[in-house]
Amino acid sequence: MTEASEHGGATPERFGAPRGRDRTDGRGGAPGAARGRPAPPPSPRVRLVDVAREAGLSKTTVSAALNGTGRLSPEIREKARETARLMGYRPNATARQLRAGRARLIGYVVGELADTPWTFLESPYFARLTGATAATALARGYAVVLLPAGSLQSEWAALPLDAVVVADPVADDRIVEDLLAARIPVFSDRSVEGRPGAHWVDVDADAAVRQALDHFHAQGARRPVLVVPDSTTRFHREVEAAHRAWCAAHGVPERAVRVAEPGNGPVIRAVEAALGTGPERPDALLVVAEASPPLVLEAARRHGYDVPGDLLLVCVSEDETAVHTEPPVTTLSLRPDAVAEAGIAHLVAVLEQGLGETGGAMVPVRLDVRASSVRPV
């Protein structure tokens, strides 16, 4: 990790220290320490009773206002909350944990990218899913702890995790097995369906593929090509199966190119290979492997395709640049925000309402049709 100063981060000058002067006594000590003055004691923690006294309310009223309970007028509730904010009041987390029997910490791990643990944050989909999970959990009073993919049990076993979200686990990832063995609830995709202690939220891969290919077919395309990751996640295995079934049902040749590893470079190379597959040039391209839509569009143009005149294009992507290309690129969204909201709602129901049975929810995908997949009249 680079130091903060390399990114314009906090430096002494930025916090008001004069240039060229040391903020110590010249011998490495803190200001005042050399003159024999003791360091000032830390400020006392603001208590609930202090907030109540300042607001002119009872302690019970302030507690209800901050917890969102009780029958209080909007004015009283706002007065209590604003007073607490101005005074810097923070609830006693330790006491709350003891009362609730929970640490209110949720582990989060992306199983698909185990070989490169933190690169999932470079993916628009996983960045959106991670951010939405953290924000939705925080609104429910839980904090998210990021864990590296391929985590060893020794790395998380000592953490007081109430549950762990495992996004897109791969077939040989042991973290789901280890978490369930440790009696930690797991929230993942449908690959964990029916397992005690496991819950799921997923998108319908079969419906997603059929929606995109049906759209191509309605626009007159008869030679579609699929670009898909060479992955063992449930979603990508079902994408390939759905593509195979659709091609058989419609009597069109099954053309697919697998991408060996994630990243714009490998995906664009696979796109270029797909554009040259078969005895006839493809007339539609469904890119499920995540890549920058402008780069996919440019690769098609380098190979002599006019989009959408010669080639219809759909990308599975959450990248907002798709709207700003020429032509704008049609995207198939897996709706990570909705997946996160459904997952955290189910997680809270399990932890706080005692929902015992395992189960899950299916989130529909969304095809945002733009000019790249509409045949010009």
- Summarize pLDDT for 79-101 with one digit per residue, the tens: 999 998 898 887 765 555 545 55
Confidence grade of residue 352 (pLDDT, cut at 50, 70, 90): confident
Question: Of 140-154, 255-269, 306-320, where does mean pLDDT reach its minimum?
Answer: 140-154
Residue 260's Cβ-count burial label (10 Å; 0-12, 13-18, 19+) is: exposed
Task: Tell me the per-residue pLDDT of 203-236, one tens digit each, with 9 for 90 and over.
Answer: 999 999 999 999 999 999 999 999 999 988 999 9
- Report, as an integer, the average pLDDT of 333-353: 93
CB-CB contact of 310 with 373 (8 Å): no
Lateral strand order in the sheet of 366-368? 256-259, 224-229, 284-287, 312-316, 330-333, 366-368
Domain boundaries, given as residue ranges, for the chain = 1-35, 48-91, 105-202+338-361, 205-335+366-373
CATH fold match for the domains 48-91 and 105-202+338-361: no
Percent of the chain, pLDDT > 90? 58
User: Alpha helix (H) ranges present in 88-201?
Assistant: 93-100, 124-139, 153-156, 175-181
For residue 78, the cross-strand partners are: none
Choices 1.10.3720.10, 3.40.50.2300, 3.40.50.970, 3.30.56.10: CATH for 205-335+366-373:
3.40.50.2300
CATH topology of domain 48-91: 434 Repressor (Amino-terminal Domain) (1.10.260)
Lateral strand order in the sheet of 186-188? 143-146, 105-110, 163-167, 186-188, 198-203, 360-363
- As a dihedral over the C-alpha atoms of residue 3, residue 120, residue 365, residue 369, rounded to 10 degrees, the angle is 70
Task: Pick 302 or 278 by higher pLDDT.
Answer: 302
Per-residue pLDDT at 40: 64
Task: Tell me the per-residue pLDDT of 5-62, one tens digit each, with 9 for 90 and over.
Answer: 333 433 333 333 333 334 444 444 444 444 556 666 666 788 889 999 999 999 999 9
CB-CB contact of 271 with 298 (8 Å): no
pTM: predicted TM-score of the whole model, two decimal places? 0.74
CATH class of segment(s) 105-202+338-361? alpha beta
CB-CB contact of 364 with 154 (8 Å): no
* Count of beta carbons in the 10 Å neighbourhood of residue 139: 10
Cβ neighbors of 339 (< 8 A, separation 6 or more) are 129, 132, 201, 202, 203, 363
Q: Which of 195, 158, 155 lies closest to 175, judged by CA?
A: 155
CA distance 54 to 62: 11
Per-residue pLDDT at 261: 87
How many angstroms separate the Cα of 36 from the Cα of each of 28, 32, 40, 117, 284?
14, 7, 12, 49, 78
CA distance 264 to 227: 13
Task: Pick 244 or 110 by higher pLDDT.
Answer: 244
